[in-house]
Structure 1
Amino acid sequence: MSILSIQSSVAYGHVGNSAAVFPLQRLGVEVWAVHTVHFSNHTGYGEWRGPLLPADDVRAVLRGVEERGAFAGVDAVLSGYQGGEDIGDVILDAVARVKAANPDAIYACDPVMGNAKSGCFVHPAIPILLRERVVPAADLITPNQFELGYLTGTEPHTIEETLASVELARDLGPSTVLVTSVERPDAPADTIEMMAVTDAGAWIVQTPRLAMKANGSGDVTAALFTAHLLSTGDPAVALARTSSSVFDLLQNTLDSGERELQLVQSQESLAQPRMQFEVSQLR
């Protein structure tokens, strides 16, 4: 399996490609990483250094990969945070070129916009770009519950409301939706859920909620789910493997006392998920 991952990159820590590439490689996936920025660290620190790469430079790197004949071997294009409309255009162009070379390839998009606690933290043009152009081109999207509501103009809280919002998102184009960080008022205390919906059905998994904020965990989640779904073709299995690995990664990070995701230290949990959580079918 080969994945073309077009995302940000940091030298210190793990977000964007710096979060997604190693877990994919640990699963045995060939990853061609194309960076949209190369910062010293993620912006959550408040200070960072390094370049935001011009869209033309990103396009040139992708064109060089294409000229090697590699696009025909791409099974999925993966994208995350999109810093500007120009990068969105580059990604969409790359997706079209990959699909022209390999019609079986999918586009997996993590429509990063914000979260329930912080609100929307991207440029005001980005949600419009995602809703009107990017998400309709995607086969798989991995929004959190807040982003799902932002995409669909809804405010989902219950399971039924979240499922209804997912169907509105699927009406935009993608056939598969993974909703991360599902929160509902009737869930047991100190738990959090993920929901996967495809044409074949809907599934949910519940894990303990850990008292931490982990930059990059969404990038790891999107990467793992994409790879597991491609390798198994089974959304329930992909959900179980992803939730297990991500929980262990977060627990290891919390136990370490470190701010950055402990990816390398958690590599066995990434490669061999413990499958400690039960996935339930909703429909």
Structure 2
Amino acid sequence: MRFLSIQSHVAYGHVGNSAAVFPLQRIGHEVWPVLTVNFSNHTGYGAWGGPAIAADDVRAVVAGIEDRGVLGTVDGVLSGYLGGEEIVDVVTDAVARVKAANPGATFTCDPVMGNANSGCFVAPTIPPLIRERVVPVADIITPNQFELGFMTETEPDTLETTLDSVDRARDLGPRTVLVTSVLRPDRELLPDGSGGTTGTIEMLAVDDAGAWIVQTPHLPIKANGSGDVTSALFTAHYRETGSAATALERTASSVFDLLQVTIDSGERELRIVQAQDAFANPRMQFAARQVR
């Protein structure tokens, strides 16, 4: 398959396209990255170099691809962090152009707004733009639990309230929702291999066919870019198999092993290259359970 991925880029580390492109390539897909920023590193360091790319320049890249007559071969469009209204317009226009050329193409929006630990870390104007102008044209969205609640003005925590929030999100337009981090107050404790216990974290996938949840140990790491990898892999596996459950199992397996390799390395940035076999040959160590 071929993906048009409109996201940020960093030279050092792995977020945005720097996180999404290689895993997609490693599992056999063509990716056309369109950059919205070209930074030295992700902004979590507090300082960075390099420019945000003007919306007109981003639009010109998409137009140049269109001029090659190949938009009709795009199977999916991906977007992540959106820095402002002008970039929102570029993304939605690109989606419209791709779908005009190939009505079977899908659009996956990762509605980056924040997380449970940091709260909302984007400008106040961004969440309404995502909710009102981007999500309605998306086929797949991949929010974390905090973003799901923020977007639907709900407070998902139990499985039931999270499913209700997903239904509200699907009412906005997208038919498929992947909630990338479900932390329930009654979540199970698992053996940690050293005589203690560790908590669990879950991912929930919902489409017209049903709802599935997968549970993994909650690894002790805050990994910038892991959501970008998750969104990209789930989209590719879902498009390839047509099964939300299979896509969920493959994605959970790959991302868990990516995080474990990163922890073992002692490095702050994702070890995407070192963990590449987890993308190409996921161990499938976690089974999805149908919950609806």
TM-score norm. by structure 2 comes to: 0.96
Deviation at residue 187 of structure 1 after TM alignment:
1.1
Equivalent residue, structure 1, for 2:256:
247
1:185 CA displacement: 1.1
Q: Give the alignment of 1:1-283 within 5 angstroms.
A: 1-189=1-189, 190-283=199-292
Paired with 2:96 and 2:181, the residues of 1 have a C-alpha distance of 30
Instruction: State the one-letter code of the partner of 1:102.
Output: N
Distance in 2 separating the partners of 1:68 and 1:123:
35
Deviations 1:222-246, CA, capped at 9 Å, x for gaps: 0000000011011100000000000
Matched AA of 1:156: P
Give the residue type in structure 1 aligned to 2:78: L
User: Which consecutive aligned stretches of 4+ in structure 1 deviate over 4 angstroms post-superposition?
Assistant: none
Shift of 1:70: 1.4
Amino acid at match of 2:232: A
Q: Deviations over 1:117-159 (max 9, x none)?
A: 0000001111000111100010000000000000100001100
1:208 Cα shift?
0.4
Deviation at 1:215, TM superposition (A): 0.3
SS in 2 for 1:221: helix
SS at match of 1:31: strand
Give the whole-Å Cα distance in 1 for the aligned partners of 2:109 and 2:97. 16
Give the percent of matched residue pairs that are identical in Structure 1 and Structure 2.
72
Structure 1 residue 162: deviation in Å?
Answer: 0.2
Q: Which residue number corresponds to residue 195 of structure 2?
A: none
Contiguous gaps of at least 5 residues in structure 2: 190-198
Secondary structure, aligned partner of 1:220 = helix
Distance in 2 separating the partners of 1:13 and 1:117: 21
Letter in 2 for 1:133: R
Question: Counterpart of 2:260 in 1: which secondary structure?
Answer: helix
Q: How many residues align?
A: 283
Secondary structure in structure 1 of the residue aligned to 2:235: helix
Matched residues in 1 for 2:70 and 2:87: separation? 21
Residue in structure 1 matched with residue 194 of structure 2 by the alignment: none
Q: Distance in 2 between matches of 1:11 and 1:211?
A: 25
| Aligned-residue offset at 1:250 | 0.1
Name the TM-score, length of structure 1 as normaliser: 1.00
Gaps spanning 5+ residues in structure 1: where? none
User: 2:244 & 2:212 partners in 1: Cα distance?
Assistant: 8
Deviations 1:156-209 (A, max 9, x none): 110000000000000000000000110111111310000000000000000000
